[in-house]
Amino acid sequence: MVRAPCCEKMGLKRGPWSLEEDEILTSYIQKHDHGNWRALPKLAGLLRCGKSCRLRWINYLRPDIKRGNFTNEEEENIIKLHEMLGNRWSAIAAKLPGRTDNEIKNVWHTHLKKKLNQTNSEAKKKAISKPKIKRSDSNSSTITQSESASACTTSSSDFSSVTVGERKDIKSEDIESMEETMAVIDESFWSEAAALDETSTDMKSSSLTISNEMLPLQYPDEILPESHEDYNSNMDDGMDFWYDIFIRTGDQIELPEF
């Protein structure tokens, strides 16, 4: 069976929809439901292919579509969902009532991708001056990057992982052990840390002790990569560096210059 030629070859109309066409399609679907999309245009009296009608209805005419700009909350949700699901726009749209996959895809390519890249490059710059971390326990030596890398494989529950430095290859077993305890502190951590440093009256040096109040800044568990493959795809999609220093409650961080 040969694929049916689409629209133009069949003498059907293409391009932007007129108000009249919208009205015809809307009133037909309201009366009869869409049923078979392929048969719909003929039944409704439209010179369009079924595919085009379906798209128009789903992305524009459906009554439950939310119009207007995306709120910050929606944008943040998209970013988080994209980290989790990748380019599965329909799955992302399913979590955002009133928004279509096409709209989300557009907003991702026009705004969020740039926004994320900008955020990452700023974070990269900040990461150049790495903070020193002092352990609060008996062997309170400053943590080095190699130490932190080895900490990756530990599953000690009182550790939180923080990212600092360039991307490294991480084995899938490392990911598994990290998933239980891993939390990534992102740019907001450093800005918040800086703000704390500025406002704190008893803080003489530019250092910060990790306290429980800071824990909510950690990445929520549900947006961690589900698999090594997901992890890699996230990395390829702009999240191209992770800090790899591990901190825990009570640790003291000497903050970099801001």
CB of 242 to DNA, least distance (A): 23
Is residue 188 within 8 Å of 151, Cβ to Cβ?
Answer: no
Q: Which of 89, 189, 243, 246 binds DNA (CB under 7 A)?
A: 89
Q: How many residues bind DNA (CB under 7 A)?
A: 37
Residue with tokens 């069949």: 10
Query: Is the Cα torsion angle 213, 214, 220, 221 positive or negative in sign?
Result: negative
Distance (Å, whole) CA 145 – CA 246: 9
CB of 221 to DNA, least distance (A): 23
> Binding of DNA at residue 71 (CB under 7 A)?
no
Q: Which stretch binds DNA (CB under 7 A): 75-83, 88-96, 136-144, 210-218?
A: 88-96
5-41 burial, b at 16+ Cβ within 10 Å, e below that, comes to eebeeeebbeeebeeebeebbbebbeeeebeeeeebb
Angle (CA) 186 74 86, round 5°: 65
> Binding of DNA at residue 121 (CB under 7 A)?
no
- For residue 205 the two structure tokens come to 């040096």
Question: What mask of x and - would describe binding to DNA in positions 14 to 53, judged by CB under 7 A?
Answer: xxxx-----------------xxxxx----------xxx-
Concatenating the DSSP letter of every residue in 68-119 gives SPPPHHHHHHHHHHHHHH-S-HHHHHHTSTT--HHHHHHHIIIIIHHHHHHH
Q: Which of 27, 30, 71, 110 binds DNA (CB under 7 A)?
A: 110
> Binding of DNA at residue 1 (CB under 7 A)?
yes
> Binding of DNA at residue 242 (CB under 7 A)?
no
> Binding of DNA at residue 188 (CB under 7 A)?
no
Question: CB-wise, 2 or 128, nearer to DNA?
Answer: 2
Residue 100's DSSP bridge partners are none
> Binding of DNA at residue 95 (CB under 7 A)?
no
Q: Which of 47, 96, 107, 194 binds DNA (CB under 7 A)?
A: 107
How far from the centroid of its chain's Cα atoms is residue 209's Cα?
29
> Binding of DNA at residue 236 (CB under 7 A)?
no
Question: CB-wise, 68 or 216, nearer to DNA?
Answer: 68
How far from the centroid of its chain's Cα atoms is residue 179's Cα?
17
> Binding of DNA at residue 7 (CB under 7 A)?
yes
Identity of residue 4: A
How far from the centroid of its chain's Cα atoms is residue 2's Cα?
40
> Binding of DNA at residue 62 (CB under 7 A)?
no
Question: CB-wise, 121 or 129, nearer to DNA?
Answer: 121
> Binding of DNA at residue 128 (CB under 7 A)?
no
> Binding of DNA at residue 141 (CB under 7 A)?
no
Q: What Cα–Cα distance (Å) separates residue 79 from each residue in 75, 85, 124, 204, 237?
A: 6, 10, 19, 37, 11
Residues that bind DNA (CB under 7 A): 1, 3-4, 6-8, 14-17, 35-39, 50-52, 54-56, 59-60, 87-91, 101-103, 105-107, 109-111
